[in-house]
Amino acid sequence: MKKNISLLGATGSIGIQTIDILASNPDKFELVSFAAGMNMDKVREIAMSFQPKVISVIQREDAARLQAEFPSIKFVYGQEGLVEVAAHTGADILVNAVIGSVGLAPTLEAIRSGITIAIANKETLVAAGDIVMAEARKYNVPILPVDSEHSALFQSLNGENPKQISRLILTASGGSFRNLTRAELSTVTVEEALAHPNWSMGNKLTIDSATMMNKGLEVIEAHHLFNVPYEQIDVLLHRESIIHSMVEFEDTSVMAQLGSPDMRVPIQYALTYPERIPMQNPKALRLEEIGQLNFEKMDFVRFKALALAYTAGKEGGTMPAAMNAANEIAVSLFMKGIIPFLEIDHIVERVMEAHQTIQQPTLEAIMEVDLNTRKIVYAMIN
């Protein structure tokens, strides 16, 4: 039977690769709804190819224009449009590939509609992981990881007893500036930050990889996905990005998942789980061609954002949401050339130092912290 797919972030990096998988397997998947940003040419291309039932865009004007072009498809817009796409009746899986905390409300609505979540939106679990996972348990909805690191942990844990986990080991490539000292980061450019050595990702994720905040968000996400204390989650620098993550068990056995740096693999596995299907145009792993794999202990002074993420995760409550919102705005300011690279960490740290944490917050409290933190960061800059 075909699986009906809803997709948030269809024109982003993960979204485009998801579309590629769906197009390569028309007998297995049907795209029933999707949401996109501002790339209307790509929206039109996907609409013509898949003829979904519902499409959401950001601007009302774009929705009206597209509605006239595609009268058989329903067009919606804005945050309400995101929610409608996410909770579309008949969908089996929601692939949440949007960037930022905007993905939180649609994910919760999809869970309450009984739709399996393939999560590529880190910020949803970072900002409100306790609430999201509680709702998933309440409605008996699987949360399947799409990030390569969490997919690796998920695959390494298949058939294992989670009570016997000693530690989770997330691997990190080190990002664009892994060979630079912290002092050398003061003058780096946006173009240099976006030149990731291994992965093809969206701009925000690539900047987060350069600061190592991306890995920090993944640590918090792993804590929620696998219910493992932060003290049992480690990060290891692994430049080749071949071992995507590992699980060490209490008998010292280590299970690892290996593969070439190709995001289509974890995306496809989330869509086909618990089955596997052949990958179209695969980048097969040939260890004899690689020759050797390298590992280094993580430097928390050099990669300050990672240390901040651990602090926020252990603090819990609204602190991760404040940290995440501050980082989102700081990264956007850097990409616009308004602040230098190292100021990203400084802004996040200042926000965290000033934040008054609310423990066991409601969703409304989390969203208020998210909004207020963004205002605070803009006030700092002004």
- What are the pLDDT digits (tens) for 215-224? 999 999 999 9
Q: What's the pLDDT at 174? A: 86
Average pLDDT over residues 359-364: 95
Higher pLDDT, 67 or 177: 67
For 199-220, the DSSP string reads ----HHHHHHHHHTHHHHHHHH
Task: Report how far Cα 360 is from the mean position of its chain's Cα atoms.
Answer: 23
Percent of the chain with pLDDT over 90: 86
Average pLDDT over residues 163-177: 93
- Identify the weakest region by mean pLDDT among 2-11, 185-194, 326-335, 342-351: 185-194
Q: What's the pLDDT at 192? A: 86
Greatest Cα pair distance, the chain, in angstroms, is 63
How far is CA 363 from each of CA 137, 311, 319, rounded to the nearest angstrom? 17, 21, 13
- Identify the weakest region by mean pLDDT among 135-144, 159-168, 184-193, 327-336: 184-193
Higher pLDDT, 197 or 245: 245
Average pLDDT over residues 56-65: 97
pLDDT at 313 over 70: yes
Q: What's the pLDDT at 96? A: 97
pLDDT at 198 over 80: no
What the block records as the tokens of 185 is: 């980061």
Average pLDDT over residues 135-152: 97
pLDDT at 199 over 60: no
Contact yes or no for 246/156 (Cβ under 8 A): yes
State how beta strands 243-249 and 254-258 pair: antiparallel
Contact yes or no for 209/148 (Cβ under 8 A): no
pLDDT at 197 over 70: no
The band of 338, judged by pLDDT with boundaries at 50, 70 and 90, is very high
What the block records as the tokens of 211 is: 């600061």
Q: Which residues pair with 255 in a beta bridge?
A: 247
pTM: 0.93
